[in-house]
Structure 1
Amino acid sequence: MKVTVNKIDNANVLVSGTIENSVIAQNVDKLAAKAGKEMKVDGFRKGKVPAHVVKKMHGEKLVQDAEGEALRDLMDQGVKEAGINASEILGQPIFKKYEKTDAAINVEVEISTRPNFDTKGYEEIIPTFEQPAASSEEIEERLQSLASAQAPFQKIKRKRMVKDGDMTVIDFEGFVDGVAFAGGKAEKFSLKIGSGQFIPGFEEQIIGMQYEEEKTIKVTFPETYQAKDLAGKEAEFKVKLHEIQEQVPAAVDDEFAKKMLQGDENATLEMLKEKVKDQIVAEKVSKIYNDELKPKLIEALVEKFDFALPSNIVEQEIDAKINEKARAMSQEELNDFKEHPEKVEALRDEVRKDAADSVKATFIVDALAKKEEISVNDQEVTQVIYYEAMMHGQNPQEMIKYYQKNNLLPAIKMGMIEDKLFSKLLGLHQ
Structure 2
Amino acid sequence: MKATWEKIEKNLGVLEVEVEAERVTAALDKAFNKVVKKAIVPGFRKGKVPRPIFESRFGVESLYQDAIDILLPDVYGEAVEETGIFPVDRPEVDIEQFAKGQPFVFKAKITVKPEVKLGEYKGLEVPVVKAEVTEEELSAELARLQERHAELVVVEESAAANGDIAVIDFDGTVDGVQFEGGQAERHSLELGSNSFIPGFEEQVVGMATGDFKDVEVTFPETYHAENLAGKAAIFKVKLHEIKRKQLPELDDEFAKDVSEFETLEEYKADLKAQLESSKQEELKGARENAVVDKAAANAEVEIPSAMIDTEVETMVRDFDNRLRQQGMNMDMFLSFSGQTREDLQNQMRGDAEKRVRNNLVLEVIAKEEKIEVSAEEVEQELASMAESYKRSTEEIRNILASNGSLGSLNEEISLRKTIELLVSSSVEVEAAEVVEEAPAAEAEETKAE
TM-score using structure 2 length: 0.57
Is residue 123 of structure 2 the alignment partner of residue 133 of structure 1? no
- Which residue in the other structure is 1:247 paired with? 245
1:327 match: 342
Once residues 69 and 32 of structure 1 are traced to their aligned partners in structure 2, the CA distance between those partners, rounded to angstroms, is 8
What is the CA–CA distance in structure 2 between the aligned matches of 1:140 and 1:147, rounded to whole Å?
Answer: 10
**Equivalents in 1 of 2:74, 2:235: separation in Å?**
77
Structure 1 SS opposite 2:64: helix
1:370 pairs with 2:370? no
Alignment partner for residue 197 of structure 2, among 196, 199, 220? 199
Preserved CA contact (<8 Å) 2:27 2:70: no
By how many angstroms is 1:277 displaced?
2.4
Q: 1:14 & 1:278 partners in 2: Cα distance? A: 59
Q: 1:104 to 1:410 in 2, by over 3 A?
A: closer
Q: Which runs of 5+ in 1 are unaligned?
A: 331-349, 385-403
* CA drift at 1:70: 7.5
Whole-Å separation in 2 of the counterparts to 1:351 and 1:247: 40
2 CA distance for matches of 1:81 and 1:191?
Answer: 65
Aligned residue for 2:235?
A: 237
* 17 and 208 in structure 1: CA distance in 2 versus 1, 3 angstrom threshold: closer
**Which residue pairs with 1:208 in the alignment?**
206
Runs of 5+ in structure 2 lacking a partner? 317-339, 390-399, 425-449
| Cα gap change, 1:212 to 1:299, in 2 (>3 Å) | closer
The worse-fitting range, judged by mean Cα deviation, of 56-65 and 374-383 is: 374-383
Structure 1 residue 67, shift from structure 2 partner: 5.6
Map 1:117-196; keep pairs closer than 5 Å.
Answer: 129-156=128-155, 159-178=157-176, 184-196=182-194
Amino acid at match of 1:360: L
Q: Per-residue deviation at 1:214?
A: 3.4
Cross-structure match for 1:99 = 96
- The one-letter amino acid of 2:206's match is G
CA positional deviation for 1:144: 1.9
CA contact (8 A) 2:215 2:237 kept: yes
Aligned partner of residue 169 in structure 1, secondary structure:
strand
The equivalent residue for 1:53 is: 54
1:78, 1:411 → 2: CA distance?
21
* Structure 1 residues 274-302: Cα deviation after superposition (integer angstroms, max 9, x where no partner): 44324444554565566x53443323554
Q: How many angstroms apart in 1 are the aligned matches of 2:180 and 2:16? A: 72
Question: Which residue matches 1:63?
Answer: 64
1:409 Cα offset (Å)? 8.2
- How many angstroms apart in 2 are the aligned matches of 1:380 and 1:4? 41
Q: 1:339: which partner in 2?
A: none
Is 2:297 the counterpart of 1:297?
no
Q: Which has the higher contact order (CA 8 A, sep 6+)?
A: 2
What is the SS of the residue equivalent to 2:377? coil
Structure 2 SS opposite 1:247: strand
Partner of 2:264: 269
Counterpart position of 2:323: none
The amino acid of 1:63's aligned partner reads: Y
State the AA in 2 paired with 1:239: V
Percent sequence identity over aligned pairs: 27
CA distance in 2, matches of 1:408, 1:236: 57
Per the alignment, residue 333 of structure 2 pairs with: none
Provide closer, same or farther for how the CA distance between residues 44 and 366 of structure 1 changes in structure 2, counting only shifts above 3 A: farther
Whether the aligned pair in 1 keeps the contact of 2:214 and 2:234 (CA below 8 Å) is: yes
Report the secondary structure of 2:131's partner residue. Answer: coil
Superposed CA deviations along residues 370-392 of structure 1, whole A, max 9, x for unmatched, are 369377659959989xxxxxxxx
Q: What amino acid is the match of 1:155?
A: V
The secondary structure found in structure 2 opposite 1:373 is: helix
Name the SS of the counterpart of 2:129 in structure 1.
coil
CA distance in 2, matches of 1:355, 1:184: 44
- Amino acid in the other structure paired with 1:317: M
Q: Are the equivalent residues in 2 in contact too, given 1:160–1:210 (CA < 8 A)?
A: yes
Does the 8 Å contact 1:161/1:208 carry over to 2?
Answer: yes
Counterpart amino acid of 1:298? Answer: V
Cα separation, 1, equivalents of 2:177 and 2:108: 72
Contact kept in structure 1, 2:171 and 2:183, CA below 8 Å: yes
Residue identity opposite 1:212 in structure 2: G
User: What whole-Å deviation, never above 9, does each CA across 1:355-380 have from its counterpart, x for those lacking one?
Assistant: 97355146359875836937765995
1:317 Cα offset (Å): 0.7
1:223-234 matched pairs, under 5 angstroms: 223-225=221-223, 229-234=227-232
For residues 285-337 of structure 1, the C-alpha deviation after alignment (integer angstroms, 9 at most, x for no partner) is: 565566x5344332355478899x9xxx967415537989993499xxxxxxx
How many residue pairs are counted as aligned between the two chains?
368
Once the 2 structures are TM-superposed, how far is the Cα of residue 139 of structure 1 from its aligned partner? 0.3
| 2:202 partner SS | helix
Instruction: Give the structure 2 partner of residue 317 of structure 1.
Output: 307
Q: Spell out, residue by residue over 1:220-255, the C-alpha distance to the aligned partner (whole angstroms, 9 max, x if none).
A: 233444555544333333334444332221111232
Greater shift, 272-281 or 71-80, is seen at 71-80
Alpha carbons 2:161, 2:206 under 8 Å: kept: yes
Looking at structure 1, the residues matched to 200 and 351 of structure 2 have their Cα atoms a distance apart, in angstroms, of 47
CA contact (8 A) 2:296 2:357 kept: yes
Change (3 A) 1:228 1:293: same
Tell me how far 1:153 sits from its aligned partner.
Answer: 1.7
Matched residues in 2 for 1:177 and 1:93: separation? 54
